[in-house]
Amino acid sequence: MLNASPPTSTATIRRCPQCAAVMRIMLVEPDLKDPRKARHVFECKECGLPRTYLITCERSIARPPALSLSLA
């Protein structure tokens, strides 16, 4: 039986719930609704299954500044 609990905020590897192969972290980005949370995206090396977890961080994550395009 696979453990379905979410990963910790420092986890970089998970087991795939579909095939039990290793899932690697592909992306960590701030949550747009809550600055205390981050989206951790894992992808399976074998079957390609993606999984996204919303994880509460110890401190808020700085959001990148908004891009402004000027057409001069």
CATH code at 13-56: 2.20.25
Q: Is the pLDDT of residue 27 over 70?
A: yes
- Which of 11-15, 22-26, 31-35, 56-60 shows the lowest mean pLDDT across its residues? 56-60
pLDDT (0 to 100) of residue 13: 80
8-to-5, 18, 42, 57 alpha-carbon distances in Å: 9, 20, 13, 9
CA torsion angle 13 17 19 22 (round to 10): 0
What's the pLDDT tens digit per position in 38-56? 888 999 999 999 999 888 8
Residues 9-34 have a mean pLDDT of 87
